[in-house]
């Protein structure tokens, strides 16, 4: 059973569909109702099982509602992928407190709340399994970080700070949750093709909780970035999902506290 936040589009959708194809039952999440239901329908059409929890991961009650849905629908939590997020860029002298706080909220506070809400469920399941003399399965947490969080990126002091913080959270939870046989890892993405990184000369925006946020990459900036990638191109959402799957597969049950860089050799 897998929780995948921000899975109505882009990387999150690819992750949800990949995990479902490999046998996981998935709780899909998106800000908007239509994309979430579309992904659920696609998973079901392919023979999988999924339910949707619509809403912002930054809402104070979201984490409890999210985890409760997983328990009610599928009986527990085996995989958590903290993927939801967006960018709101500016150089530091022009960045507002709201820009800084909102990005930390979605990329750092929200995963913290989801993991905190999931802990009692996972702990109870492990205690029950041990009491019954059963083998405790390797449950998985994968947090979505970024090369911006590892190396920094101009204009992204908020995003880079949040993603660096998520690495610290990952390493700490790996130590706290090892006793439950839970592996906790992160994937740091480079340039991945999504609606947030569309190459365009025209202004592109998305709506986030009533705020209009500019997205997209100028062609010259994109060309400069891809020139530094060993594979010579941006990654696809499906390739990004593959990195998450590697850390969710049974074969990675002795890998924890690590950051897997998925950047094509950037």
Of 162, 230, 131, which is closest to residue 190 (Cα–Cα)? 230
The 8-class DSSP code of residue 228 comes to T
Place of tokens 């509602």: 65
Whether 66 is catalytic is no
Q: Which two tokens stand for residue 248?
A: 């969710």
Taking 3-state DSSP, the helix, strand and coil percentages for the chain, each rounded to the nearest 5, stand at 50, 20, 30
Taking the C-alpha atoms of residue 266 and residue 257, their distance in angstroms, rounded to an integer, is 22
Q: How many CA atoms lie less than 13 Å away from 151 in the CB half-sphere?
A: 9
Taking the C-alpha atoms of residue 251 and residue 140, their distance in angstroms, rounded to an integer, is 12
Taking the C-alpha atoms of residue 260 and residue 212, their distance in angstroms, rounded to an integer, is 32
Q: Which two tokens stand for residue 197?
A: 């990184």
Among residues 66, 86, 159, 245, the one annotated as catalytic is: 159
**Residues marked as catalytic:** 159
């Amino acid at each position: 059973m897998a929780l995948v936040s921000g899975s109505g589009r882009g990387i999150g959708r690819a992750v949800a569909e990949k995990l479902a194809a490999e046998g996981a039952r998935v709780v899909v999440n998106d800000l908007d109702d239509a994309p979430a239901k579309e992904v659920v329908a696609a998973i079901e059409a392919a023979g999988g099982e999924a339910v949707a929890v619509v809403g912002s991961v930054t809402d104070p009650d979201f984490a409890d509602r999210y985890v409760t849905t997983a328990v009610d629908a599928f009986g527990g939590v085996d995989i958590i992928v903290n993927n939801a997020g967006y960018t709101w860029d500016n150089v530091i002298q022009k960045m507002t407190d709201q820009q800084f706080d909102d990005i930390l909220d979605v990329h750092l506070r929200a995963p913290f709340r989801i993991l905190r809400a999931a802990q009692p469920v996972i702990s109870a399941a492990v205690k029950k399994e041990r009491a019954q003399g059963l083998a405790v399965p390797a449950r998985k947490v994968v947090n979505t970080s970024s090369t911006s969080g590892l190396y920094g990126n101009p204009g992204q002091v908020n995003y880079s700070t949040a993603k660096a913080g998520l690495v610290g959270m990952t390493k700490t939870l790996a130590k706290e949750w090892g006793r439950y046989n839970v592996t906790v890892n992160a994937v740091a993405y480079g340039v991945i093709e999504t609606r947030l990184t569309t190459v365009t000369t025209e202004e592109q925006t998305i709506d986030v909780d009533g705020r209009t946020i500019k997205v997209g990459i100028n062609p010259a900036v994109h060309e400069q970035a891809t020139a530094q990638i060993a594979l010579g191109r941006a990654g696809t959402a499906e390739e990004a999902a593959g990195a998450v799957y590697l850390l969710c597969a049974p074969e990675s049950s002795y890998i924890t506290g690590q950051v897997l860089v998925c950047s094509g050799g950037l």
